[in-house]
Amino acid sequence: MPEVIRQLPENVANQIAAGEVIQRPASAVKELMENAVDAGASRIDVRVVDAGRTLIHVMDNGVGMVEADAKRCFDRHATSKITSADDLFTIVSKGFRGEALASIASIAHVELKTRHASDECGIQLNMEGGALAQETPVAMEGGTQIAVRHLFFNVPARRNFLKSDAVEMRHVIDEFHRVALAHEAIHFTLTRNDSELFDLRPATLRKRVIGVFGSKYDERLVPVDESTDVVGVKGFVGKPAFARRTRGEQFLFVNQRFVKHGLIHRTIMNAYEGLLPPGQYPLYVLFLTIDPARLDVNIHPTKTEIKFDEDQHIQSLLLPSIRRGLGKHAVAPSLDFDQESSLNIAPLPKDRVVAEPVVQVNTDYNPFQSKAAPGGSSGGGLRPGRGQMDAWKSLYEKAWQPGGEAGPVAHEEHAMQSSASGEVGAQLEAGDEVVVKQRPLFQLQNKYIVTATKSGLLVVDQHRAHQRILYEELVRQLEPEGTPAATQQLLFPAAIDLNAADQLFVLQSRDWLAKFGLLIAEHDDGIEVQGMPLEADTTPESLIQAILEERAAEVAGVSREERVAARLAASMAVRVGKALKPEEMVDLVDRLFGCSTPALDPFGRTVIVNFESNELEQRFR
Ligand code: ADP
Ligand code: MG
């Protein structure tokens, strides 16, 4: 038998490795930027032509390489960053595998210019097909400049695999952002063809985040900064009101390296429980710092996946940190259960000097601490976090409890008294948890309901509040023990023509639609609506249309039934401009605070605005 096993030529091995490390132009941009960061650069300029297909040029003012190193850096497994396996446990550099330059050189034309800080003259190397083609001395500033041309010129399969310039450019920008966010002290620029897209000067982290995302993000950011002796977390999370239906604004860094980590992502989402409708993702740019010995960064060649020894520990720091952050910024109501007598006031800005200690601020207070193990429950969203819900409820109820809990505002403030007084209270007293006495409650512009609480003033959007209430009621009908919602039988059933697919869908959904009070029967080339939800303020046609639209939409984590419920709720809710009777207002507000997510309507819009008394006091200064 002849021998069959041969060693692969170096260049072929490199091309194979390149398949793992360099999938697209953006991967090369990432590797080159990271090398520049590792080289201690304070300025890094990136330029791409044709989304990186034609040229990727990365220029840095880092330490540079001496001649021998410059020649060696294209060898496989050539790295200056580790010398032994032990070093793997103390890695602080981005790279360490010594694969990137070897891979890139094997699938592109590379021109390297570099000058080490200790040399007077630089050197230029031209690599072709992984081999040195030319070598010349050059005069240049200290640092390194790498031009990668015609990426994948010898790997047509890869080249053909690339997407449109727009898509590839999006990937390049993503990688650029990831590196730039993690190194706010470095000056980065990104130029596309001949136009500069980003010029990010050294800045604070907040300014860097704004530089990357745009100035309107300033008001969206809630800072997080806490640590234990094992792990630290700092950065920003987005206010829930700005969450999006698409992912893409979630950035997690571990020791300044961008990573993806499902568990941590879920922990962060859990921190938003009750603040976000299902299917929405908040922005976050969070940096974890962990002793490198406690992680294994080596499990994936592109190193965006990571394993921790201490998942548990990290979750138990992360979740309350984010919640405290959200609480402090009055995004979530922060109540003080421990200090019953204190005013509930959001923490003051750090630089504010308080003249007299009349205000007690408990900055450590965590409105969610009643919750069981952190990260324990899944954020299904519809029946969201008790902590959140209790906090809102308590804010409301405490103001009205008999027996002295009600603050002076509630009892004595005659100025705010509205028509909703005596009789309304009496009506509700029987068997109602919330005993209403002399409750000041009035309607503003036939649009808002205003009511006082112990710690300030609540303004409720009547239309959105009603949507939230109806939505939760409808969703409850879906449960096995739920009783169907009330139906109004139509005197003249409405026949609606539908195409075969739509007809099939509606008929298949008939059972659960009936639970919402929508009664449907089959009809020639379509369906017939025989009964409508009692309070629906729309035509059968537009209701069916709305349902069909929800069929097409895909929203992660939200069932079609829930989305249809939201649309129905919107069609049934009391309109803006409708004058409400006092008892209707009381009923609406009470039902709202019986909801699991009173603060948001089913589409994620704000339902309640809370003015803390310190805000009011401020105005009277
Ligand atoms: P790794 O980054 O994993 O070490 P690379 O193939 O990316 O492997 O780079 C190989 C080596 O080349 C690095 O370890 C470093 O010593 C050197 N090098 C690469 N890029 C630069 C740069 N921009 N400035 C200085 N040295 C560099
Ligand atoms: Mg590298």
Atom of ligand 1 nearest to the CA of 94: 2
Same domain, 46 and 153: yes
The sign one gets for the Cα dihedral 306, 310, 312, 315 is negative
What's 145's domain CATH number?
A: 3.30.565.10
Q: Is the C-beta atom of 62 inside 6 A of ligand 1?
A: yes
Answer with the one of 200, 222, 243 that is the final residue of a domain. Answer: 200
In a shared domain, residues 545 and 614: no
2 within domain boundaries: no
Say if ligand 1 is within 6 A of residue 420 CB: no
Q: Which residues on adjacent β-strands are paired with residue 438? A: none
More reliable by pLDDT, 56 or 90: 56
The owner of tokens 């007299």 is: 356
Q: Is the pLDDT of residue 580 over 70?
A: yes
- Tokens standing for residue 169: 């450019």
Q: How many CB atoms lie within 10 A of CB 102?
A: 25
Going by alpha carbons, the residue nearest to atom 25 of ligand 1 is 64
The whole-number pLDDT of residue 206 equals: 96
**Same domain, residue pair 138 and 212:** no
Among 482, 497, 419, 468, smallest CA distance to 572 is for 468
Distance CA 321, CA 3 (A): 63
The CA 157 to ligand 1 mean position distance, Å, reads 27
Neighbours of ion ligand 2 (CB under 5 A): 35, 95, 100
Answer yes or no: are the C-beta atoms of 190 and 207 closer than 8 Å. no
Q: What is the pLDDT of residue 379?
A: 30
Alpha-carbon dihedral of residues 45, 48, 53, 54, nearest 10 degrees?
-100
Q: What is the CATH number of the domain that holds 420?
A: 3.30.1540.20
pLDDT cut 90: percent of the chain above it: 33
Query: What atom in ligand 1 is closest to the CA of residue 74?
Result: 6
**C-beta separation of 268 from 320 below 8 A:** no
Which helix (DSSP H) or strand (DSSP E) does residue 34 occupy? helix 25-38
- Ligand 1: distance of its center to the CA of 492 in Å? 77
Q: Distance from first CA to last CA of the chain, Å, rounded?
A: 97
Q: What is the pLDDT of residue 407?
A: 34
Do 98 and 68 share a structural domain? Answer: yes
**Does the beta carbon of 96 lie inside 6 Å of ligand 1?**
yes
Residue owning the nearest CA to atom 16 of ligand 1: 80
Amino acid letter, residue 163: K
Ramachandran bin of 268, using left for φ above 0, alpha for ψ from -120 to 50, beta for the remaining angles:
alpha
Q: Whose CA is nearest to atom 8 of ligand 1?
A: 98
Question: Quick check: CB of 332 below 6 Å from ligand 1?
Answer: no
Q: How far apart are CA 213 and CA 224, in angstroms?
A: 18
Q: Are residues 134 and 231 in the same domain?
A: no
Distance 173 CA to ligand 1 centre (A): 22
Residue 478 within any structural domain of the chain: no
Strand partners, 128: 131
Considering only CA atoms, which residue is closest to atom 19 of ligand 1? 35
DSSP 117-165: TT-SSEEEEEEETTEEEEEEEE---SEEEEEEESTTTT-HHHHHH---H
Domain identity same for 46 and 134: yes
Q: Is residue 148 part of a domain?
A: yes
Which positions ≥6 away from 391 have C-beta within 8 Å?
A: 332, 333, 334, 335, 367, 368
Question: Could you tell me if residue 514 is inside a domain?
Answer: yes
Residues 96, 214: one domain? no
At 315, which CATH number? 3.30.230.10
Q: Which residues share a beta bridge with 136?
A: 124
Section 586-606 average pLDDT: 83
In this structure, which residue's CA is closest to atom 12 in ligand 1? 73
* pLDDT (0 to 100) of residue 409: 33
Dist. CA 267–CA 97, nearest whole Å: 31
481 belongs to a structural domain: no
Residues 122 and 263 in one domain: no
Taking the C-alpha atoms of residue 203 and residue 187, their distance in angstroms, rounded to an integer, is: 9
* Residue 267 forms part of a structural domain: yes
User: What mean pLDDT comes out for the span 525-537?
Assistant: 86
Is 411 in the same domain as 283? no
Q: What is the pLDDT of residue 222?
A: 92
102-116, 377-391, 554-568: segment of lowest average pLDDT:
377-391
Residue 566, pLDDT above cutoff 80: yes
Residue 527 pLDDT: 93
pLDDT band at 168 (very low <50, low <70, confident <90, very high): very high
Rounded CA-CA distance 67/144 in Å is: 12
35 within ligand 1 shell (Cβ under 6 A):
yes
CATH code where residue 557 lies:
3.30.1370.100
Give 80 Cα–ligand 1 centroid separation in angstroms: 7
Q: Kindly give the interhelix angle for 262-271 and 311-328, rounded to the nearest 10 degrees.
A: 30
* CA gap 567, 17 in Å, rounded: 51
Question: Could you give the 3-state DSSP secondary structure of residue 367?
Answer: coil
Same domain, 37 and 185: yes
How many alpha carbons lie under 13 Å from residue 601 in its C-beta half-sphere?
20
Where do the DSSP E strands lie in 292-434? 295-296, 307-308
Which of 59, 96, 101, 127 most suits a substitution to test ligand 1, by most atoms within 8 Å of the C-beta?
101
**To which H or E segment does residue 360 belong?**
none
Of 46-50, 165-169, 184-188, 293-297, where does mean pLDDT reach its minimum?
293-297
Q: How far apart are the C-alpha atoms of 11 and 279, rounded to whole Å?
A: 47
Distance 289 CA to ligand 1 centre (A): 24
Residue at 217 is within a domain? yes
Read off the tokens for 218. Answer: 């300033």
Please determine, for residue 402, whether its predicted confidence score (pLDDT) is greater than 60: no
Inter-residue contact 105 to 155 (CB < 8 Å): no
Q: 165: which 2 tokens?
A: 């310039």
Q: What's the pLDDT score for residue 127?
A: 95
Same structural domain, 225 and 310: yes
Which atom belonging to ligand 1 lies closest to the Cα atom of 93? Answer: 2
Element holding 46 (H helix, E strand): strand 43-49
What is the distance in A from the centroid of ligand 2 to the CA of 301?
11
Beta-bridge partners for 125: 112, 135
pTM above 0.95, yes or no: no
Closest Cα partner for 100 from 54, 178, 164, 34? 34
Nearest-CA residue for atom 7 of ligand 1: 100
Residue 59 sits at φ, ψ, to 5 deg, of -120, 130
Whose structure tokens read 């976090």?
385
Six-digit token string for 565: 């419920």
Whole domain around residue 245: which residue ranges? 207-328
The reply to whether 479 falls in a domain is no
How far, in Å, from the CA of 373 to the mean position of ligand 2? 40
Q: Are residues 151 and 95 in the same domain?
A: yes
Confidence of residue 392 (pLDDT cuts 50, 70, 90): low
Tell which of 262, 297, 328 closes a domain. 328
Q: Which of 35, 99, 298 to mutate to test the pocket of ligand 1 (most atoms within 8 A of CB)?
A: 35
Domain end call among 167, 200, 233? 200
Q: Is the CB of 100 under 6 A from ligand 1?
A: yes
- Residue having the nearest C-alpha atom to atom 20 of ligand 1: 35
CA 559 to chain centre: 20
Q: Quick one: pLDDT band at residue 390, thresholds 50, 70, 90? A: low
Helical spans, DSSP H, in 39-119: 67-72, 100-106
Number of compact structural domains in the chain: 4
d(CA 218, CA 3): 67
The Cα–Cα gap between 14 and 393 comes to 62
